[in-house]
Amino acid sequence: MTQLTDPTDVSPIHPEMEADITKFEEMLADYQAGRIPEDVFRVFRLNNGIYGQRQGGTSQMVRVKVPYGAMTADQLDLLADVVDDHSRGWGHITTRQNIQFHFVELAEIPTVMRRMAEVGLTTREACGDTVRNVQGCHLAGACPLEVLDITPWAEAAYRHFVRNPLAQRLPRKFKINFSGCDTDCGQAMFNDVGVIGATRTFEDGSVERGFRVYIAGGLGTTPFPALALEDFTPKEDLLATIEAVLRVFEQTGNRDNKLRARLKWVVDQLGIDEVRRRVLAIRKLLPASATWPGGIPTVVTEWGDEPAGVADGVTPTAMGQGTPVTLGALSDYDRWVEANVVRGAANGTVSAYAWCELGDVTSSQFRAVASIIRGFDVDVRVTNRQNLVLRDLSEEQLPALYERLVAADMARPGAELSRDVVACPGADTCNLAVTQSRGLASAIGAALDEAGLAEVGGLRVNISGCTNSCGQHHTSDIGFFGAERRAHGQSAPGYQMLLGGYVGQERIHFGKKALRLPAKNAAEATVRVVSRFAGERAAGERFIDWLERSGGASGVAAGLKDLDEFPTPDEGPEFYVDYDETGPYVAEIGESECAT
């Protein structure tokens, strides 16, 4: 298969991207002329990153693939133009390091695709039953704890699988994620293939850098933890291993029932031992394939994968889940540095988070970050918690950077603080959502601010508008998923609260159900839990450890029972209207296009 060149160097449009766009134009014309049925065009547009919205009609969501979160200044400027010319004023960062735009007219999609291709961006396989965006730790190459820099490995995986015939009509979507160390900032532990940098030591004391590969993880309504494939995977075997897993999935995935089509269900049916056997057997014979390049990918050789290393005399702190962050009575700048700046790399550079509220980025913010990249000669990556992180900074640049971020409204301390609430798009645009998850996220942020708890560190809140976990509610300290409630004979928006989700150290805990709540009481419940945690935690104690010694999810929920009460519609009419809505609540569910 022909591989793409470095996507940041594509100008004019790469021939493969041009072919994608030309094909989309042809298929769209045939669909509009009635020559292609709806179901065929739907599969085609999904494989090209284009979703329908719950509003129906010709409004579309366009998802841009951002492999391992890496972007350039030119790309950010282009996305600003897309926001202004084709969307509704802002783009949205997803939990899988994509950027998506809503309310784009179907007729304008080819134009949008062509404009993005001019700066090396594609929507190809950002959706559909394909290999989705290849994720990677956003601090890769800048993290003092990493075993190796996973950047070129994630790039190699992206290049190998995009447009690969093997990956065009899978039983269901297939997700790949890379982390450079067991802190697992990339969150490899709930993916179809999760790759974590690892080492093995030989009898002579020499150390080999490579990987530990986990498979068959997933969230959705039934979450599964990823399972180790083998103790250690050498570098030269990594891509072969991933392709072998994909081939097993392509051969054995359930094509008759989409609800049981993911790789996790293959393991559920065949057992992990049999799946391992099949993967390793296929991997062994892959070198016999006429199309298999094998060995160390060229991009890894060209870019190198040496770790950032640790600066002398520095004890670095990881930025993963549970990171203790304590902010004292400091200036606004000092509080931002404490919460949003990562230090410790051997080359002396630092990284700093630009906070994007609810994962939204306006056109002016896209342009502001692009200007920072050029002016400070740094790079940027999209994070899986819906922020941006600027890398390769010097200490001397931090004050000026802070002022630029203040001007762009992106300087609030929030990278690992309780105010950094993650939410899926919810009923704003999604066909499956039954609640306005974004509205609840705003309400929780405001309630924590009012209670003086928005800057409690090391605690994550995630919200999904339905059970499908696009907001990754299973993996956060405090999670919510939307559900219809019935009270006093009427429908009302509600949430199930979960407590104790955690990802890190090559393990994953899914949050346990605590209690159900009216949507309008979910913010107060969050405030009570965060307040109790902040008041009772030992120094540096993680939420999951505090929860365990506090009676678990059920024990903490016992103190919240009074919040699971609905007033009558006359006494509390607001309880029967969802956030960001004006009329009575109705749980409307459309045809699925993106269920996890």
Let me know how long the chain is. Answer: 596
- Do 89 and 157 share a structural domain? no
**Lowest mean pLDDT: which of 262-266, 297-301, 338-342?**
338-342
What's the pLDDT tens digit per position in 216-236? 999 999 999 999 999 999 999
Could you give the CA distance from residue 94 to residue 226 in angstroms, rounded to a whole number? 21
Is 56 inside any structural domain?
Answer: yes
Listed residues 287, 303, 319: the one ending a domain? 303
Mean pLDDT of 23-52: 96
- Do 169 and 101 share a structural domain? no
Could you give the CA distance from residue 115 to residue 120 in angstroms, rounded to a whole number? 9
- Do 71 and 204 share a structural domain? no
Q: How confident is the model at residue 592 (pLDDT cuts 50, 70, 90)?
A: low
Q: How confident is the model at residue 1 (pLDDT cuts 50, 70, 90)?
A: very low
Could you give the CA distance from residue 438 to residue 421 in angstroms, rounded to a whole number? 9
173 closest CA partner among 186, 194, 196, 192: 192
Q: How confident is the model at residue 315 (pLDDT cuts 50, 70, 90)?
A: confident
Burial of 34: CB neighbours in 10 Å, binned 0-12, 13-18, 19+ = exposed
Find the domain containing 549 and state its range: 422-576
Neighbours of 166 (CB within 10 A): 15
- Do 298 and 174 share a structural domain? yes
Q: How confident is the model at residue 332 (pLDDT cuts 50, 70, 90)?
A: very high
**Residue matched to tokens 């006494």:** 571
386 closest CA partner among 420, 351, 419: 420
Give SS3 for 463: strand
DSSP 103-158: EEEGGGHHHHHHHHHTTT-B-TTSSSSSB---EE-TTTTT-TT-SS--HHHHHHHH
What's the pLDDT tens digit per position in 477-518? 999 999 999 999 999 999 999 999 999 999 999 999 999 999
Is 349 inside any structural domain?
Answer: no
- Do 84 and 26 share a structural domain? yes
Is 344 inside any structural domain?
Answer: no
What is the reported pLDDT for 2? 35
Q: How confident is the model at residue 573 (pLDDT cuts 50, 70, 90)?
A: very high
Is 241 inside any structural domain?
Answer: yes
Pairing of strands 99-105, 59-64: antiparallel
Contact (Cβ atoms closer than 8 angstroms) between residue 541 and residue 325: no
What is the reported pLDDT for 324? 63
- Do 217 and 106 share a structural domain? no
27 closest CA partner among 9, 40, 13: 40
Which tokens belong to 289? 């394939």
- Do 183 and 36 share a structural domain? no
CATH number of the domain residue 62 falls in: 3.90.480.20
Listed residues 271, 287, 303: the one ending a domain? 303
What's the pLDDT tens digit per position in 536-565? 999 889 999 999 999 999 999 999 999 999
497 closest CA partner among 441, 557, 439: 557
At how many degrees (to 10) do helices 38-47 and 15-32 cross?
A: 160
**CA distances to 62, 91, 93, 544 from 439, in Å:** 22, 17, 16, 26
Query: Tell me, what amino acid is at 95?
Result: T
Percent of the residues in the chain that have a pLDDT greater than 70, as a whole number = 95
Mean pLDDT of 427-449: 94
What's the pLDDT tens digit per position in 262-293? 999 999 999 999 999 999 999 999 999 888 88
- Do 195 and 104 share a structural domain? no
- Do 152 and 107 share a structural domain? no
What's the pLDDT tens digit per position in 78-111? 999 999 999 999 999 999 999 999 999 999 999 9
- Do 299 and 213 share a structural domain? yes
Which tokens belong to 235? 């570098």
**Lowest mean pLDDT: which of 65-74, 146-155, 333-342?**
333-342
∠ CA 186-295-241, nearest 5°, is: 50
- Do 182 and 108 share a structural domain? no
Q: 450-476 b/e with 16+ CB inside 10 Å = b?
A: ebebbbbbbbbbbbbbbbbbbbbbbbb
The DSSP 8-state label assigned to residue 15 in this structure reads H
Is 288 inside any structural domain?
Answer: yes
pTM: 0.94
**Domains in the chain, number:** 3
Is 324 inside any structural domain?
Answer: no
Contact (Cβ atoms closer than 8 angstroms) between residue 401 and residue 380: no
Is 142 inside any structural domain?
Answer: no
Percent of the residues in the chain that have a pLDDT greater than 90, as a whole number = 86
CATH number of the domain residue 527 falls in: 3.30.413.10
Is 381 inside any structural domain?
Answer: no
What's the pLDDT tens digit per position in 123-145? 999 999 999 999 999 999 999 99
Q: How confident is the model at residue 595 (pLDDT cuts 50, 70, 90)?
A: very low
- Do 241 and 193 share a structural domain? yes
